[in-house]
């Protein structure tokens, strides 16, 4: 027989309203011994409150919304797993996921659906430049956390922001190529300028400027993504590799927008007879598990995904949205370079080393 809230109140020797206060977290003014009796009764009776009844009473449901560009990108699957695990473990919230393909209209539609179903907390992974629709959701009672972009400088914002340091990540990846002797370098991206892509390009240029290589540094646009968005970015990388191979003075070192594009670049270069890293070096950003399984294994900038996801969940669980931009301070997390097999000295230097080694053997 299923226990009721009245059963819990009877066993604990308190009123039904007191049990309700415990279930809804209103225990600030409750005596500790009373709280302990109610918790003990709940455990003894294995009482589980009705989620539907709670939603009807409060207008809220213990679900956390997560809007991602596309679940076919392993990076977003990784993020979703970390968010879901932490939200369940710490807050007993379950996850409701939707794919938006970085489409503002889709994001608005999902947010409307979430609001209609009593979901009042949402994490949005998008980095679209315009987030007025997220501000509108906050005004209607939703707590919104945005990933991979920051608040617009000079503007008030009640949307929380958690983001990796994309500028530093791209700068680190580019510096790694330069340290190996690469001078003809390129940043490979896709059409459309989100805030994160813009920051990565700035980081790429900063590293090139430091080394005096700005004139040799290129931005290679792989073209627009189709309706599947981020899910086909590896194919964009593969097609772009064919274009790179046909260039008269092709770059020897490539920084990819992310790991998935880098893996596509490696596959495409192999198809046209170029070897990585003997002919072209490739470095990615993200640190997805596939990076270590590619052939050759991919050097990448590893982002601290678990830490960033926990920060977003904690912010989403705040009682209300930030009051102003100063209280929605961006949380910047730097990445770390993971060196694997996809980066080596450029072909000219490799030949010089080979010749020098051969001469030394002949002399001996």
**110 inside domain:** yes
Does a structural domain hold residue 58? no
CA–chain centroid gap for 349, Å, is 37
Q: Based on the domain organization, do 179 and 260 belong to the same domain?
A: yes
CB 168 within 8 A of CB 334: yes
Same domain as 326, residue 292: no
Please give the distance of CA 267 from its chain centroid, rounded to a whole number: 24
User: Average pLDDT, stretch 342-350?
Assistant: 86
Percent with pLDDT over 70 in the chain: 85
Answer yes or no: is pLDDT of 225 > 80.
no
pLDDT, position 21: 85
Question: Band of the pLDDT at 147, cuts 50, 70, 90?
Answer: very high
- Give the global pTM: 0.78
- Phi, psi for 357 (deg, rounded to 5): -65, -40
Provide the pLDDT for residue 304: 93
User: Is the same domain home to 288 and 186?
Assistant: yes
Question: In whole angstroms, how far apart are CA 87 and each of 67, 131, 259?
Answer: 15, 24, 27
Of 357 and 317, the structure prediction assigns the larger pLDDT to 317
In a domain, 352, yes or no: no
Identify the helix (H) or strand (E) that includes residue 94. Answer: strand 94-99
Does 181 share its domain with 128?
no
Which residue bears the tokens 């983001």?
163
Is 15 part of a structural domain of the chain?
yes
pLDDT confidence band for 153 (50 / 70 / 90): low
The CATH number covering residue 110 comes to: 3.40.50.2300
How confident is the model at residue 219, as a pLDDT? 96
If DSSP codes are grouped into helix, strand and coil, which group holds residue 134?
helix
Give me the chain's average pLDDT, please: 86
Match 């092709």 to its residue by tokens: 250
Element (H, E) at 302: strand 299-302
Q: Residue 274: which pLDDT band, with cuts at 50, 70 and 90? A: very high
* Residue at 364 is within a domain: no
Confidence of residue 353 (pLDDT cuts 50, 70, 90): very low
Q: Is residue 204 part of a domain?
A: yes
Tell whether 159 and 74 lie within a shared domain: yes
In terms of domains, do 24 and 93 share one? no
Q: Are 256 and 321 contained in the same domain? A: no
Per-residue pLDDT averaged across 251-259, rounded? 97
Pick from 155, 159, 122: which is nearest to 139 by CA? 159
Number of domains present in the structure of the chain: 3
Measured CA to CA, the distance from residue 342 to residue 278 in angstroms comes to 9
Better-scored residue on pLDDT, 287 or 129: 287
Q: Same structural domain for residues 127 and 176?
A: no
Peptide bond into 296 cis (omega under 30): yes
Structural tokens at position 215: 């004139």
Per-residue pLDDT at 354 exceeds 60: no
**Do 170 and 214 share a structural domain?**
yes
Which residues span the domain enclosing 314? Answer: 63-165+306-333
- In angstroms, rounded to a whole number, what is the distance separating the alpha carbons of residues 298 and 255? 11
Does 273 lie in the same domain as 236? yes
74-124 confidence digits (pLDDT tens): 999 999 999 999 999 998 899 999 999 888 899 999 999 999 888 999 999
* Domain match, 156 and 273 both: no
Residue 228 placed within a domain: yes
pLDDT digits (tens, 9 = 90+) for 166-213: 999 999 999 999 999 999 999 999 887 778 889 999 999 999 999 999
Residues 123 and 171 in one domain: no
Closest by CA to 280, choosing from 314, 313, 250, is: 250
Nearest in space to 244 (alpha carbons), one of 221, 215, 228, 226: 221
pLDDT recorded at residue 1: 63
The closest of 12, 39, 8, 10 to 25, measured between CA atoms, is 39
| pLDDT of the residue at 358 | 46
Q: How confident is the model at residue 72 (pLDDT cuts 50, 70, 90)?
A: confident
Asked whether 333 and 301 are in contact (CB, 8 A), the reply is no
Q: Is 361 among the domain residues?
A: no
């Amino acid at each position: 027989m299923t226990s009721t809230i009245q059963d819990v109140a009877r066993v604990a020797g308190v009123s039904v309203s007191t049990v309700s206060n415990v279930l809804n977290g209103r225990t600030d003014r409750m005596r500790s011994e009373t709280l302990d009796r109610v918790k003990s009764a709940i455990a003894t009776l294995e009482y589980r409150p009705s989620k539907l009844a709670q939603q009807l009473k409060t207008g809220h449901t213990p679900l956390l919304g997560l809007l991602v560009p596309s679940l076919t990108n392993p990076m977003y699957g990784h993020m979703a797993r970390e968010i879901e695990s932490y939200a369940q473990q710490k807050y007993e919230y379950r996850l409701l996921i939707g794919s938006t393909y970085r489409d503002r209209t889709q994001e608005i539609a999902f947010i409307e659906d979430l609001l209609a179903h009593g979901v009042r907390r949402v994490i949005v992974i998008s980095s679209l430049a315009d987030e007025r629709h997220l501000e509108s959701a906050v005004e209607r009672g939703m707590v919104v956390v945005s990933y991979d972009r920051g608040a617009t400088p000079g503007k008030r914002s009640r949307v929380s922001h958690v983001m990796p340091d994309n500028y530093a990540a791209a700068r680190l990846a580019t510096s790694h190529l330069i340290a190996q002797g690469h001078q003809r370098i390129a940043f490979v991206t896709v059409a459309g300028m989100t805030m994160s892509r813009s920051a990565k390009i700035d980081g790429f240029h900063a590293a090139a400027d430091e080394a005096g290589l700005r004139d040799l540094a290129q931005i290679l646009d792989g073209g627009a993504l189709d309706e599947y968005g981020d899910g086909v970015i590896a194919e964009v990388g593969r097609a772009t590799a064919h274009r790179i191979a046909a260039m008269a003075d092709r770059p020897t070192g490539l920084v990819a927008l992310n790991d998935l594009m880098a893996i596509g670049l490696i596959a495409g270069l192999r198809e046209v007879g170029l070897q990585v890293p003997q002919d072209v070096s490739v470095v990615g950003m993200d640190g997805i598990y596939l990076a270590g399984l590619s052939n050759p294994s991919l050097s990448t900038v590893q982002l601290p995904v678990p830490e960033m996801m926990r920060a977003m969940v904690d912010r989403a669980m705040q009682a209300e949205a930030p009051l102003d931009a100063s209280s929605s301070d961006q949380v910047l997390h730097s990445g770390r370079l993971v060196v694997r097999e996809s980066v080596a000295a450029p072909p000219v230097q490799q030949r010089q080393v080979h010749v020098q080694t051969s001469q030394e053997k002949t002399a001996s």
